[in-house]
Structure 1
Amino acid sequence: MVRPVIEVCANSAASCVAAEQGGAARVELCAGIPEGGTTPSYGEMVTARRAIGIRMNVIIRPRGGDFLYTPAEIQTMLLDIEAAKAAGADGVVFGCLKADGTIDAERNRELKQAAGSLSTTFHRAFDVCRDPFEALEQIIALGFDRILTSGQEATAPQGAELIARLVERAAGRIVIMPGCGVNENNVAELARRTGAQEFHMSARHRVEGGMEYRNERVSMGGTVTVEEFARDITDPERVARSIEALRHV
């Protein structure tokens, strides 16, 4: 029997450490979680790599929003892939689309070639592409190792039917990894419904910051309300409970 894999979406080096403590097999290191994940700094990559012994993938996404990138943004992504390599990453995570919602094979191929021997995951750009089955075949042809997907729904449990069809259609040619809304309470049922063997989750909890003086009139997000005096970090116990739940599938 294949042992299920838990990948933790880690928003910091500290979350990477917590993910390893909980038993995760791999982390995806990201910044900008409220935007769906953006490329972390080189310093964060190096700090995380030095702190953990499990596999570390790095998201290569220069901004939030859509996945139609300008030539300048592609250049940024190519340089960020080189930074991830230099930092000791095991893999990179990216995805480019055309304006019509199809896979941009040329751009993805360019980034894939830059990644070289690193593992490559096509991220949730897949969830906003026009035809998931056509996209599946193109991504396989490009040589990606896995697709991260919520089944083109708001959460993976909601998209479980499509995820199951993708797992069946992929037939072992690529890993289909459910992500978004996956947690210790639903991962076992998601595994049963989809047949997936890898799962992507954040498993975070809120931690109060250490500031004693707090000016709560000011928001660093301007007109966007954000929590200034607390942060989210991966909870090793939530990771461990997810792994335990999968042992009974």
Structure 2
Amino acid sequence: MSLKYEICIDSTAGALAAEQAGADRVELCSALFDGGLTPTLGAVETTLAAVSSIRVHVIIRPRGGDFIYDGHEIAAMERDVAAVRDAGAQGVVIGALTPSGEVDTEVARRLIGAAGDLSVTFHRAFDMTADPFAALETLAGLGVDRVLTSGQDVTALEGAPLIASLVERAGDRLVVMPGGGVTPRNVGRVIEATGAREVHFAALVDAPSPATHRNPHPFMGGELRRPEYARQVTSPGLVSEVIAAAGA
């Protein structure tokens, strides 16, 4: 079975780069520095209008931090799922946990219900669950299509033993998709060690800001921050490099 490649992006340009390089799917986010948050509806609509041969799945995550949400956040996520569904996205990427580290089935059911016939991925909230095998069974029972995981470790390569066990346990019920720290150097080992049939990665490179006037004093975020005039873009060359390495 041929591998499928999902690229984590934060812009329409990123989707076009992934499409150019031959990826199958993108996960459209904002705020990748925070692990990916819900993009604006404008970004979703613009991306869908720009691409022609690649599937667009949209992350629905209202903030960074934990995955335990209050009623207002749940209502917002439900509305966001419906909005991206109506915009024409092919899938959504969701996740919610209880304080004790279990899948929040009530929230998941609401979001899956709002998704209708869209493909549903449970994101790396899975890596914060107390019992990944119990969480996998819960998600299979909910009808989720895939789970994104680093194997509850720093990278998918380090978490490969757990991912392999999850792939075996899942069987044909849902896809277990490795993601986290996947590069051209390790993607082959990740695939070989896990037996996965889909893989998720970002392909970001530094790009210079076009700003010619720069004020070095103010900044737009908190104390832990990137340089104000640093930006990263999805590289079609790096996407192609990972795909080629995976098939080598």
TM-score, normalised with respect to structure 2: 0.97
Q: Tell me, what secondary structure is at the counterpart of 1:148?
A: strand
CA apart distance, 1:154: 1.1
Q: Distance in 1 between matches of 2:146 and 2:131?
A: 17
AA paired with 2:114? A
AA paired with 1:11? D
1:74-223 to structure 2, matched below 5 A, reads 74-223=74-223
Question: What is residue 31 of structure 1 aligned with on the other side?
Answer: 30
Q: Distance in 2 between matches of 1:156 and 1:200?
A: 10
AA paired with 1:229? Y
Name which of structure 1's ranges 51-60 and 216-225 shifts more when overlaid on structure 2: 216-225
Q: Distance in 2 between matches of 1:224 and 1:190?
A: 31
Q: Distance in 1 between matches of 2:57 and 2:222?
A: 31
Question: What is residue 7 of structure 1 aligned with on the other side?
Answer: 6
CA apart distance, 1:222: 3.9
CA apart distance, 1:126: 0.3
AA paired with 1:213? H
- On the 8 A contact 1:220/1:226 being kept in 2, the answer is no
Question: What is residue 52 of structure 1 aligned with on the other side?
Answer: 51
Q: Distance in 2 between matches of 1:8 and 1:100?
A: 31
AA paired with 1:82? A
CA deviation map 1:197-245 (0-9, x unaligned) = 1111011101101110111111111433322212111100111111112
Q: Tell me, what secondary structure is at the counterpart of 1:213?
A: coil
CA apart distance, 1:6: 0.8
Question: What is residue 62 of structure 2 aligned with on the other side?
Answer: 62
CA apart distance, 1:107: 1.0
Q: Distance in 2 between matches of 1:108 and 1:192?
A: 31
Q: Distance in 1 between matches of 2:201 and 2:190?
A: 12
Q: Distance in 2 between matches of 1:176 and 1:67?
A: 20
Question: What is residue 231 of structure 1 aligned with on the other side?
Answer: 231
Q: Tell me, what secondary structure is at the counterpart of 2:188?
A: helix
Q: Distance in 2 between matches of 1:4 and 1:218?
A: 45
CA apart distance, 1:117: 0.2
AA paired with 1:116? G
CA apart distance, 1:100: 0.6
Q: Tell me, what secondary structure is at the counterpart of 1:140?
A: helix
Q: Tell me, what secondary structure is at the counterpart of 1:18?
A: helix
Structure 1 gaps, min length 5: none
CA deviation map 1:148-167 (0-9, x unaligned) = 00000011111001000000
Q: Distance in 2 between matches of 1:116 and 1:222?
A: 38
AA paired with 2:109? R
Q: Distance in 2 between matches of 1:83 and 1:184?
A: 35
CA apart distance, 1:34: 1.1
AA paired with 1:139? L
CA deviation map 1:51-84 (0-9, x unaligned) = 1121000000000011111010000001101111
Q: Distance in 2 between matches of 1:102 and 1:150?
A: 17
Q: Tell me, what secondary structure is at the counterpart of 1:233?
A: strand
State the identity %.
49
Q: Tell me, what secondary structure is at the counterpart of 1:7?
A: strand
AA paired with 1:31? S
Query: Which ranges of 4 or more aligned residues in structure 1 deviate by more than 6 Å?
Result: none
Q: Tell me, what secondary structure is at the counterpart of 2:210?
A: coil
TM-score, normalised with respect to structure 1: 0.97
Q: Tell me, what secondary structure is at the counterpart of 2:172?
A: coil
Q: Distance in 2 between matches of 1:8 and 1:112?
A: 22
